Chain A
Amino acid sequence: DSCIQFTRHASDVLLNLNRLRSRDILTDVTILVNRQQFRAHKTVLMACSGLFYSIFTDSLKCSLNAISLDPKVDPDGFAILLEFMYTSRLSLKESLIMAIMNTAIYLQMDHVVDTCHRFIKSSDP
């Protein structure tokens, strides 16, 4: 027996999901971070974040079409993590590293938190 593994399939699907997001097609939730708004797909958010997984598996909350995050969350840090969810690329700017890490802790994105820790350690003189 044989099977054909399309090696680009996962990244091709993610690319298309990101295009859908940028065109606001089938996005089903608005995330409010302070006064900034981010449109996204619930399925992508819950596949990447423990916090969103908990929210959208809760039968009372899963149908919400807007979610307000803790006002302490930095919108720039959230924007970088949302971009990561849809692209696999984490932009680690030194000026924003603490905001990104604290937002990743809040969103329960453990592997990203570990990566931020390693980045901070490696840039510590």
Chain B
Amino acid sequence: YEGVNTIKEMGRSIHEIPRQD
């Protein structure tokens, strides 16, 4: 990604698997 303008996203990236259904 050299030379690419990187934007940082600080929030969650994926859904959260529950501890138990």
Contacts and interface: CB of A to CB of B under 8 A. Distances in A.
Interface stretch (A2-10, A61-69, A107-115): A2-10
A4 B5 CA distance: 9
A7 B12 CA distance: 8
Contacts of B13: 6, 8-9, 12
Nearest to A2: B5
A5 B9 contact: yes
Q: Looking at chain A, what size class is its interface with the partner chain?
A: 10 to 19
B17 A16 contact: yes
A2 B19 contact: no
Contacts of A8: 10-13
Interface stretch (A17-25, A43-51, A84-92): A17-25
Given A8-B11, A8-B12, A9-B14, A3 B20 contact: no
B17 A20 contact: yes
Interface in B1-21: 1, 3-14, 16-20
A23 B20 contact: yes
Interface of A: 1-9, 12-13, 15-16, 19-20, 22-23
Interface of B: 1, 3-14, 16-20
Task: Sort A-B residue pairs by CB-CB distance and give the 10 closest, nearest first.
Answer: A6-B13, A9-B13, A19-B17, A2-B5, A16-B17, A6-B9, A4-B7, A1-B4, A12-B13, A4-B9
